[in-house]
């Protein structure tokens, strides 16, 4: 099992796309948090005691979406270049391969989620400092920020990972992954208002911003619904991964 895990981490960390998504996400956070919410921020915005926590949450909601594409590519690259056959023949069980991929994506998503969540407020502080602005004393709950941002980053990555296994096509997985939160969930929420508290991406985002939906969603409810989608998705994708042909 250990050689399989090392192999998946090697695949993840030796492709350019991984580092491209990392750099893009950090640049976007630096632009919005450092320049938009720091250098260009009004004095009133910097007086809010929860400004830096909000920066962390905003960063993971957007940057987490970018970083999650790594989950699709780790699976999609193998099917695109037909290297999945070699991967499956190097181990005696397919479930080991899937577990190793799951572990690699999870570790990457959680680590980068935490990096982004603390990089964002740092950029805001530096941006305000360079413009000669003063940030008022902040109320920053470290453990709350850590678990929420790590969970959201991991949740995004799991959604993309599951789609990659189900569709086994990079373009199809990426398009589906973008259309569901940007278009699909908005249409469903407008047509069936009662479903707003049970949509996968909406609930994942509500984990860090439960008031964003305006329907009294709690953090516990949002996290539970999101985790349910991940667990069910992993079960279904695992069964299909084990039973379908390799290519």
Q: What is the pLDDT of residues 169-199, one digit of tens each?
A: 888 888 888 888 777 777 776 666 667 778 8
Q: What is the pLDDT of residue 148?
A: 92
Predicted pLDDT of residue 122: 92
- pLDDT over threshold 90, residue 103: yes
pLDDT of 82-91, one tens digit each?
Answer: 888 887 788 7
The structure's pTM equals 0.90
d(CA 70, CA 15): 10
What length does the chain have?
247
Residue for token digits 């985790």? 227
Average pLDDT, integer, range 49-74:
88
Q: Report the 10 Å Cβ neighbour count for 155.
A: 26
**Terminal C-alpha separation, the chain:** 22
Instruction: Of 24, 205, 50, give the one whose Cα is nearest residue 124.
Output: 50
Q: What is the mean pLDDT of residues 161-168?
A: 90
Residue 149 or residue 87, greater confidence: 149
Q: Provide mean pLDDT across the span 218-231.
A: 90
Q: Say how far apart CA 239 and CA 103 lie, in whole Å.
A: 18
pLDDT category, 62, cuts 50, 70, 90? confident
């Amino acid at each position: 099992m250990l050689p399989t895990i090392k192999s998946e981490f090697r695949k993840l960390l030796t492709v350019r796309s991984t580092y491209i998504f990392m750099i893009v996400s950090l640049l976007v956070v630096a632009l919005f948090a450092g320049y938009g919410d720091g250098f260009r921020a009004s004095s009133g915005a910097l007086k809010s005691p929860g400004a830096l926590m909000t920066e962390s949450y905003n960063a993971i909601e957007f940057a987490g979406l970018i970083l999650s594409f790594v989950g699709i590519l780790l699976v999609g690259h193998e099917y695109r270049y037909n290297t999945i056959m070699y991967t499956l023949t190097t181990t005696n069980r397919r479930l080991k391969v899937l577990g190793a991929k799951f572990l690699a994506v999870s570790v990457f998503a959680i680590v980068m989620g935490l990096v982004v969540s603390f990089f964002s407020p740092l950029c805001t502080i530096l941006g305000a400092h360079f413009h000669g602005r003063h940030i008022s004393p902040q109320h920053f709950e470290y453990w709350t920020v850590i678990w929420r941002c790590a969970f959201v980053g991991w949740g995004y990555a799991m959604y993309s990972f599951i789609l990659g296994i189900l569709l086994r096509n990079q373009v199809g997985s990426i398009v589906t992954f973008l259309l569901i939160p940007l278009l699909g969930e908005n249409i469903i929420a407008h047509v069936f208002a009662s479903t707003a508290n049970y949509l996968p991406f909406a609930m994942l985002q509500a984990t860090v911003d439960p008031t964003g939906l305006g329907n009294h969603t709690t953090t516990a409810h949002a996290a539970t619904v999101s985790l349910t989608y991940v667990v069910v998705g992993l079960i279904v994708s695992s069964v299909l991964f084990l039973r379908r042909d390799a290519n």
